[in-house]
């Protein structure tokens, strides 16, 4: 039984499909719909089945002796369910291979630990997702790794921060909470000649609107919990690698015993099939809401690279084909009780960790506590909003009433 999807779809760069008269490449939305699926291997079933498996039986001693060559040999090392999702995400990210992890935070720590040894130096953008910072401060330093955080706007200036023992540079595009855009091409240009591994946290784009590996980045990490899932009902991390990085990451993850449950892998693959249409709607809704917020008297700043007024807009336009539903904004300094009046009465915006689901979320944030190389000086209360798939007019009405409560 074949365990791989059709080669012209599973490949990160789909081979030409023949229609009898001409050859053409499959479009990205078509790849997302078909990558990782092989109905002919499963009695015509459209979606890859869920394999709950630990022990894999071998019919003969010769087969057992050759199990190291078998694709399926133990549940922890993967099943047709997880292989299908790996292939699909690799096609999405245009990667040589993808390693699945139980969460986005685990994808971060696995990537870092796979590449760094005691005495190595790592550069991490100062606006990264909190767990990435914590892994650097609380785990890597404990193991003797020299951790340095850098200004995400450094661009080609990264050259001055690179040391003889620098092994990895971590980026996030755009950054967490404050959404600055990093000049990824400039950093890759400085890193590649020195053999330094580059990593981008690509969760914000869902892998739909941005393809870091096509720019020479070595690894694209996502919290699949977010947009790949799209339904706020599973935990997942993905590490999509270039040819030179894949075996190292895969081997390290297997040594740590990292694996993903089959039900989560199945749900993630089901969510992946609609990621393109969902992302386009998130973009449309968020852009409309961001423009509305930019004209509110209570709002002093909107942090969304898709806005023409955003400082990172030109960099975003250079590399991205769209924007997601997550962005930040700042409201004028206000008492906590007034802020509570605003957010506690919201009907459609929930308050909770994570984002990327179909539902809208709104949280107050404090970027100051997650900075060390730079200082967040913007006065006022910083907010992070995830714009879901609701009617945007209803979301605007909900926030308008919230601002009225804030004023009262």
Q: Which residues are catalytic?
A: 76, 129, 201, 226
Query: Please, what sign has the CA dihedral across residues 147, 149, 155, 158?
Result: negative
Asked if 122 and 236 touch (Cβ cutoff 8 Å), the reply is no
**Chain-centre distance of CA 184, in angstroms?**
16
Helix (H, G, I), strand (E, B) or coil at 199: strand
Asked if 97 and 86 touch (Cβ cutoff 8 Å), the reply is yes
Backbone torsions φ then ψ of 168, nearest 5 degrees: -155, 140
In the DSSP assignment, the letter for residue 36 is T
Strand order in the sheet with 121-125: 97-101, 237-241, 219-223, 197-201, 166-172, 121-125, 146-150
Cα–Cα distances in Å, from 320 out to 158, 283, 301, 312, 314?
A: 22, 12, 22, 11, 10
Structure tokens at 380: 């006022």
By the 10 Å C-beta count (0-12 exposed, 13-18 middle, 19+ buried), 231 is classed as: middle
The C-alpha atoms of residue 339 and residue 22 are separated, in whole angstroms, by 61
Altogether, the residues listed in the chain come to a count of 408
The C-alpha atoms of residue 193 and residue 396 are separated, in whole angstroms, by 49
How many DSSP H helices and E strands does the chain contain? 13, 13
Which candidate, 128, 126, 124, 135, places its Cα nearest to that of 101? 135
Helix (H, G, I), strand (E, B) or coil at 330: strand
The C-alpha atoms of residue 272 and residue 325 are separated, in whole angstroms, by 16
Angle 286-287-291 from CA coordinates, rounded to 5°: 115
């Amino acid at each position: 039984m074949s365990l791989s999807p059709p080669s012209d779809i599973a490949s990160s760069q789909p081979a030409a499909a023949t229609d009898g008269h001409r050859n053409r490449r499959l479009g990205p939305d078509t790849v997302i719909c078909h990558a990782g699926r092989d109905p002919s291997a499963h009695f015509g079933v459209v979606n890859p089945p869920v394999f709950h498996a630990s022990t894999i039986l071998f019919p003969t001693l010769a087969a057992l002796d050759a199990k190291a060559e078998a694709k399926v040999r133990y549940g922890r090392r993967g099943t047709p369910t997880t292989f299908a999702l790996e292939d699909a995400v690799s096609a999405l990210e245009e990667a040589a291979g993808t390693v699945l992890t139980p969460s986005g935070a685990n994808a971060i720590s696995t990537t870092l630990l796979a590449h760094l040894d005691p005495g190595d130096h790592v550069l991490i953008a100062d606006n990264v997702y909190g767990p990435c910072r914590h892994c650097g401060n609380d785990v890597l330093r404990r193991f003797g790794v020299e951790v340095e955080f850098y200004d995400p706007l450094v661009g080609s200036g990264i050259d001055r921060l690179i040391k003889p023992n620098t092994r990895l540079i971590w980026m996030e595009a755009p950054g967490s909470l404050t959404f600055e855009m990093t000049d990824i091409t400039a950093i890759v240009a400085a890193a590649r000649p020195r053999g330094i591994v580059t990593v981008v946290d690509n969760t914000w784009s869902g892998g739909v609107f941005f393809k870091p590996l096509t720019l020479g980045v070595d690894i694209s990490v996502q919290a699949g919990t977010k947009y790949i899932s799209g339904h706020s009902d599973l935990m997942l991390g993905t590490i999509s690698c270039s040819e030179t990085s894949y075996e190292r990451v895969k081997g390290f993850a297997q040594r740590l015993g990292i694996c993903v449950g089959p039900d989560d892998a199945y749900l993630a693959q089901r969510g992946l099939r609609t990621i393109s249409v969902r992302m386009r709607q998130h973009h449309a809704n968020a852009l409309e809401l961001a423009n509305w917020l930019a004209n509110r008297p209570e709002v002093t700043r909107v942090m969304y690279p898709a806005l023409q007024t955003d400082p990172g807009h030109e960099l975003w336009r250079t590399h991205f084909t769209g924007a997601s539903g997550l962005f930040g904004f700042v409201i004028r300094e206000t008492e906590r009780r007034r802020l509570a009046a605003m957010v506690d009465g919201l009907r459609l915006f929930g308050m909770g960790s994570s984002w990327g689901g179909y539902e809208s979320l709104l949280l107050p944030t404090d970027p100051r506590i997650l900075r060390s190389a730079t200082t967040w000086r913007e006065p006022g209360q910083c907010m992070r909003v995830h714009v879901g798939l609701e009617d945007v007019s209803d979301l605007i009405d909900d926030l308008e009433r919230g601002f009225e409560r804030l004023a009262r």
